[in-house]
Structure 1
Amino acid sequence: MTVRARLDEIADIGRDPVRGGYSRHLLDDADLALRAWFHRSAAELGLDVERDGNGNLWAWWGAQGPDAVATGSHLDSVPGGGAYDGPLGVASAFEAVAQLQASGWTPARPIAVVAFSEEEGSRFGLPCLGTRLMVGAVPAVTVRALADGDGRTIDDVWSAAGWDPRGIGPDPDRVARLGAFVELHVEQGRDLEDRGAPLGTASAIIPHGRWRLTIDGEGNHAGTTPIADRRDPVVALAAVVTAARATAVAAGPSARATVGRLAVTPNGTNVIASRVEAWLDIRAATDDAVRAQLAATIARAEEGVVAEGCTLSVAEESFSPRVDFDEALTARIGDVLGGVPTIPTGAGHDAGIVAPYVPTAMIFVRNPTGVSHAAGEAARDEDGEAGAAGLAAVLRDLAGRS
């Protein structure tokens, strides 16, 4: 089989007819179908599959034991996301194992293909949910109380799927069994395309955070309320959005600020809103730079919010500090791949959560459009196949020879 053929098997799962692209979220119908595909793909290769207490899927080649080499990514998406972000890494991992098996090689160390849960955080608001829980980076009690847009908690959806929510939480024994983790991922940008390089490795993930901003005003009638008497949180929102952009521009070319999600109450055409919730994503070169950018954004936004007679509250939903990947492992992989570029990324990954606990590296596959988290995301078939072949060579090197 090929990587393209494996991706084609899931090409119709979770298509979003409204947004375009794919909408695949934790334990929705699309996610369940993708999990079934994972099981089938593993069975075809004779791999033993298990689901851990945090919903992560593991397909083992060889008996589980110490110093295992894990590779994979995630299967969920942002709303209207692309076809490659996540699934390319899982499909490539299965293809790499298939190529190694076809060559007659067997590993001296166990190899695991993994699909982590809720990497995007689109259903419950916490990115890299499965890995954060696994390494103990977030309290299980906090996560089990998280609710989706319909008010269903993780406990609710876990139980509905027939899973025991009491298994949610740190999994130190599993982490201790991992000797290395390599995540293959489509590049989320055009660096490799501009370099003319089909593959690369990651040096670091720049830090980023997500904050929920709540703007409270006064609901009223759109036709009878004079402009001077309004306390409109949507108008105040405009001040927040422009403050975020202006602050990021002032902070320099490495700064990022995005307001991409809104919830307006009551969300009526002829109603002045009473509340707006907005989610702010900030990224910058250092942890301190992200915090400073947030503080400057809120200070600037407050002026417009107060001028409209509204109030603003800020709640942190997640913060991911800067991650520098294992230099020795990254260099070793670069040598196996024949000397490829090493580049930083502004996108978060499960690899970034695992990295402080396990030697971790990433392989990027060139994206000719540079688009990600949208339907225009792309990877050439020949680059995808090069990525799987390269990953197979990396696994052969890391898992030893029999």
Structure 2
Amino acid sequence: MADGFEQMWSDLAPVGRSAATGGYFRQPWDSAEEELRAWFAEQAAARGLVLETDALGNQVAWWRPEPVPGQTEILGVLTGSHLDSVLDGGAYDGPLGVVSAFAAVDRLRERGVEPGRAIGISAFREEEGSRFGLACLGSRLASGSVAWADVEGLRDRKGVALGDVTGEPDAGAGGVLADVGCFVELHVEQGRALVDRGAPVGLASGIWPHGRWRFDFTGRADHAGTTRMEDRADPMLTYAMTVLAANKQARLTTGSTDGEGRATFGRVDVRPNGTNAVPSAVTAWLDARADSDEALQAMVAAIERQAGDRAGRDRTEVVVTAESVSGPVEFSPDLAARINAGRDWPVLPTQAGHDAGILSAAGHPSAMLFVRNPTGVSHSPAESAEMADCLAGVEALADALTELAG
């Protein structure tokens, strides 16, 4: 029998971990992520699962039941998550769902469950968008939500194009989802709702609409010492005011279940990036989220309007480009009811994007299980989960797979 959850988790713990911060750097097509992909293949082989991989590198390992003569084949149940991380991220976001999926299959076999439909374990590539900027890139391509022609030119921070690293002339939809009837993703909770409710496991009701917008501020480079303040066209001033505007507009967004939207400038590029020079350009990326499309659009429009007003006073310019926008997702009420029958797990919305949201929007009924996060911190080295809660999550996922595929 392949290793249990605790051994698998221990094996993955050192991969891509920074000795300086304790955080993880598992970006797509780097050595750490390639090691994780090899680990996935080894785990699939150890269990006799059939591994499928598409041109982008999305992996699905299938446990297929013996065919019954005369019986029509039923589309399978897919579980799993992703193995990549944000820059300096936590250990649990993504890998918890993959490790739990292998452990759940082990539990089904220990219980003597013979699935009536295939069970697949997935590891989608570039879920975080930390390298090429488009979140859930792997599941978007696999589901046909985006076309290869529209993304092959995406470039990372070093200017390398996606099409160059894949080595494929067309890494579009490759058929790994052709046999999928529904999807159940287990994920560490990225908040404190389960802590507040005293529950180790919960279910997601849906995902807030969210997106990423690029703000390009341009001005005039000049000398930091000799240029009078009133003579400057400093895009950093416009950017700084826009950050404050984003914070204000998010707090003013009303109608949300928890009273406010979300707006974050977490990435910035300054040129020429010199200590003694007024910058000529600042590029910054806004991550914005709200509980409705209307609230999200209104919030981003208000931020853009205030940025433009400030640019006029600073003698600078600002151009805003939507790089990726995802609408609201409601997960399948039927799947949730079947998974939650007799358990009464808390049901809560999530403000984070997930592969489950992409598959749901593409027509694959989906559900999500959350495992309690004691601090609520995520996308950080401080992200955590107790082992007892992780094991409860494995049992919950095994129960869900038994219900849906047994």
**TM-score with structure 1 length normalisation?**
0.95
Structure 1: distance between partners of 2:221 and 2:18: 33
Q: 1:69 aligns with which of 53, 77, 89?
A: 77
Of 11-20 and 210-219, the range deviating more from structure 2: 11-20
Structure 2: distance between partners of 1:273 and 1:179: 52
Q: 1:342 aligns with which of 322, 338, 347?
A: 347
Q: 2:360 aligns with which of 355, 358, 374?
A: 355
TM superposition outliers: structure 1 runs of 4+ over 6 Å: none
Of 134-143 and 277-286, the range deviating more from structure 2: 134-143
Aligned equivalent of 1:195: 197
Aligned equivalent of 2:120: 112
In the TM superposition, what whole-angstrom CA distance separates every residue of 1:175-224 from its partner, at most 9, and x where no partner exists?
44211100000000000011000001000101001000000011122122
Q: Percent identity?
A: 49
Q: 1:381 aligns with which of 387, 394, 402?
A: 387
1:79 maps onto 2:87 in alignment: yes
Amino acid at match of 1:222: A
Indicate conservation of the 8 Å contact 1:19/1:79, yes or no.
no
What is the root-mean-square deviation of aligned Cα atoms in Å? 1.5
Indicate conservation of the 8 Å contact 1:70/1:114, yes or no.
yes
Indicate conservation of the 8 Å contact 2:56/2:166, yes or no.
no
1:254 maps onto 2:260 in alignment: yes
Structure 2: distance between partners of 1:217 and 1:18: 37
In the TM superposition, what whole-angstrom CA distance separates every residue of 1:280-339 from its partner, at most 9, and x where no partner exists?
011011112111111111111222222111100011110010000000101111116x22
Q: 1:6 aligns with which of 2, 8, 22?
A: 8
Amino acid at match of 1:52: D
Of 360-369 and 3-12, the range deviating more from structure 2: 3-12
Indicate conservation of the 8 Å contact 2:55/2:166, yes or no.
no
1:263 maps onto 2:269 in alignment: yes
Q: 1:142 aligns with which of 150, 164, 180?
A: 150
Amino acid at match of 2:105: V
1:224 maps onto 2:223 in alignment: no
Structure 1 residue 55, shift from structure 2 partner: 1.7
Structure 1 residue 174, shift from structure 2 partner: 4.4
Of 77-86 and 47-56, the range deviating more from structure 2: 47-56
Indicate conservation of the 8 Å contact 2:141/2:148, yes or no.
yes
Aligned equivalent of 1:294: 300
Structure 1 residue 17, shift from structure 2 partner: 4.2
Of 373-382 and 95-104, the range deviating more from structure 2: 95-104
**TM-score with structure 2 length normalisation?**
0.94
1:239 maps onto 2:245 in alignment: no
Structure 1: distance between partners of 2:310 and 2:332: 44
Structure 1 residues 19, 315: closer, same or farther in 2, change over 3 A? farther
Structure 1 residue 18, shift from structure 2 partner: 5.0
Structure 2: distance between partners of 1:240 and 1:72: 38
Amino acid at match of 1:92: S
Aligned equivalent of 2:70: none
Indicate conservation of the 8 Å contact 2:54/2:176, yes or no.
no
Structure 2: distance between partners of 1:199 and 1:40: 29
Q: 1:312 aligns with which of 299, 312, 318?
A: 318
The within-5 A match list for 1:40-79 is 40-62=42-64, 66-79=74-87
Amino acid at match of 2:318: L
Structure 2: distance between partners of 1:263 and 1:358: 38
Structure 2: distance between partners of 1:120 and 1:175: 20
Amino acid at match of 2:195: E
Structure 1 residue 62, shift from structure 2 partner: 1.2
Indicate conservation of the 8 Å contact 2:52/2:176, yes or no.
no
Structure 2: distance between partners of 1:111 and 1:236: 52
Indicate conservation of the 8 Å contact 1:239/1:305, yes or no.
no
Indicate conservation of the 8 Å contact 1:66/1:176, yes or no.
no
Of 64-73 and 51-60, the range deviating more from structure 2: 64-73
Indicate conservation of the 8 Å contact 1:68/1:179, yes or no.
yes
Structure 2: distance between partners of 1:165 and 1:93: 32
Aligned equivalent of 1:157: 165
Structure 2: distance between partners of 1:128 and 1:242: 28
Structure 2: distance between partners of 1:367 and 1:264: 35
Q: Which runs of 5+ in 2 are unaligned?
A: 68-72
